[in-house]
Amino acid sequence: MNSLATEKSRTSSFLKHAPIAFGDCRWTEGFWAEKLRNCEQTMLPYMGELLCGDVGHALNNFKIAAGLKVGEHKGMFWHDGDFYKWLEAATYVYAQNGDERLIDQVNEHIAIIAQAQEPDGYLQTQIQLRPNVDRYENRKYHEMYNTGHLLIAACVHHKVTGRNNFLDIAIRHADLLYTIFHPETKQFGRFGFNQTQIMGLVELYRSTHDKKYLRLAERFINRRGTFEVVHHPVTEGYPIGDMVQERTPIREADEAVGHAVLALYYYAGAADVFAETGEQALGDALDRLWANVTEKKMYVTGAVGQTHYGASTNRDKIEEGFIDAYMMPNMTAYNETCANLCNAMFSYRMLGIRGEAKYADVIELVMYNSGLSGISASGKEYFYANPLRMVDGARSYNDHESATETPEREPYLECFCCPPNLVRTIAKVSGWAYSQTENGIAVNLYGGNQLDTKLADGSRLALDQETAYPWEGRVKLTVTTCKATPFEIKLRIPGWAAGTKVSLNGVEVKEEAIAGNYLIVNRLWNFGDVILIDMPLDIKLIGGHPRIEEVRNQVAIQRGPMIYCLESPDLPAETSILDVYLPAGQKLKPEHRPDLLGGLTTISGTVKLREHPTDKMYHTTGKPAWKTVSTSFLPYYAWSNRGKSEMTVWLPVLWD
């Protein structure tokens, strides 16, 4: 077990659920073990070929800045951050497989990054390789975004390996940032933009215990909403106001606005600061913002960021972000993969500071649905945007070249922020499965794994978890090592899992298993104690709030944490997804298909196809003609793996 990570968790004074040391939980079998294996064997090396070669060009940018190669910067302004995320993912994989060749490769890249760093600590290849652009001239160059991912990746590398080579780069860079941005100057007062630097600074504080990094993180939070919202030289070329969280101070905010990724990284950073300071006004704001995101602006798949272009409720121009409550288009839903993952990251931090099961419910919803939909079953093709309906390959937006308009996943996206974000999340999700509590452990996510960790008092705890979750609802937890005094095991009962039964050593526990809560069993545990959790995986039809016009008289299908969709390969040829209706009274049946896309559970049933009389925009209509066909529904994350197809999550329903 990594003692450095345990020390880090003790630094955070205001966490009810503290992180376990990374590597203490290892997937052994089932869904996440298979995803991690795919990550290790395919996702990570394939992405490395892209980013370290001439296609992605990210490593080349550092080589050129280091004087090791001749050329010019290629890629988006935030491409350094993409590379840091890949290095972070590689470090997480190394922590679990111990492959020295992998960490040697990472350290070789770090040596190149060190050579690219300026003597005063500055490190931004998109600026260093543009002779006519000054440092911190314009926030559109994403210097803060790259900084955040540099600091995070360096801290992860330090915790996992115990080495300082990457951390030293981060410290020099953060010290320069403190010199420039901690003073209260008009020039830099509005510079915070895509603010991963806040999370990065808090992580650096946790790794070094130097409070100046925490003070600077607070400074970036406190400046938002304190300057007049007008164009300024540092803002030219990009929307202002709500787009970048600068119209309203966060402690006064009650609505998620603007670019979804910018917003959620900012909220996650603020949650990290709260974990260290416990400031009530900041915590209250985070509660309001999380509720607004998840209760009024989140899709049934856990996705966020309803539109590509639009306006906030304050009528500021926004891109890739939040619009009005309950305005949830399906075909034009943007739902950037990064935004969906950020929703899980924000919820993970809220789980830490509040300790409530609803936050883990959102993490699970994202990870099984709108997060994984961003990558193909092979691990080599990607989606930037994740709509809930695709008709004839049509999307109504076009940006970042090939990144968003394609009806199929692509092997490389010019805007490459999402793929490494998803791969690093898959690589680290085992670290979210459990949390330390004051006197025990919380089980947040289910999957076949082995846990070998230390509780807050330093005592050792080891558990074996056996399950075929999410395809089956039965989970077996066996205590294999524990202390000789009582402690608690908190079991998350998912919000969808009403009727869950829990037994201990064959006897039903007296504590009630309430859906959407943790069931707490506090006792003197013994070697060999067995907890059985039996969650009913009923197939449910999900409706939407009446104010969501786009899903009126429609339903989605859910089984356990999975949202299902209907895809055209499972319909007769030439059938439009728009002419399909779901008869409500039928018995839908699950069927596990080990042969399909790596193994998954589909749902079989019937649908009715409506004869479509005309292509006119409006027309008179009479009683429709119906054709009944048998079909199967696919987990949403797995769509677009069988060629170009139409797809829908929501179906108009025919009630008995």
Separation between Cα atoms, residue 322 and residue 241, nearest integer Å: 13
Q: What's the pTM value of the predicted model, to 2 decimals?
A: 0.96
Q: What is the pLDDT of residue 590?
A: 98
Burial class (CB within 10 angstroms; exposed 0-12, middle 13-18, buried 19+) of 491: buried
265-282 in b/e burial notation, b at 16+ Cβ within 10 A? bbbbbbbbbbbbeebeeb
Tally Cβ neighbours within 10 Å of residue 212: 15
Q: What is the pLDDT of residue 537?
A: 96
Q: What is the pLDDT of residue 3?
A: 32
Q: Read off the pLDDT of residues 87-109 as tens digits, 9 standing for 90 and up.
A: 999 999 999 999 999 999 999 99
End-to-end CA distance of the chain: 57
Instruction: Please name which of 49, 244, 268, 257 lies closest in space to residue 149, comparing C-alpha atoms.
Output: 268
Q: What is the pLDDT of residue 2?
A: 35
Domains of the chain: 3-384+405-432 (1.50.10.10), 434-534 (2.60.40), 539-654 (no CATH)
List of residues 6+ apart from 106 with CB closer than 8 A: 87, 90, 91, 94, 157
Separation between Cα atoms, residue 357 and residue 575, nearest integer Å: 41
CB 261 within 8 A of CB 320: yes
Rounded to 5 degrees, what are φ and ψ at 506? 85, 0
DSSP assigned state of 312: -
295-327 in b/e burial notation, b at 16+ Cβ within 10 A? ebbbbbbbbbbbbbbbbbeeebebbbbbbbbbb
Q: What is the pLDDT of residue 192?
A: 79
Torsion angle of alpha carbons 303, 79, 153, 346, nearest 10°? -20
For the chain, which residues score pLDDT lower than 50?
A: 1-10, 396-404
Q: What is the pLDDT of residue 397?
A: 47
Q: What is the pLDDT of residue 72?
A: 97
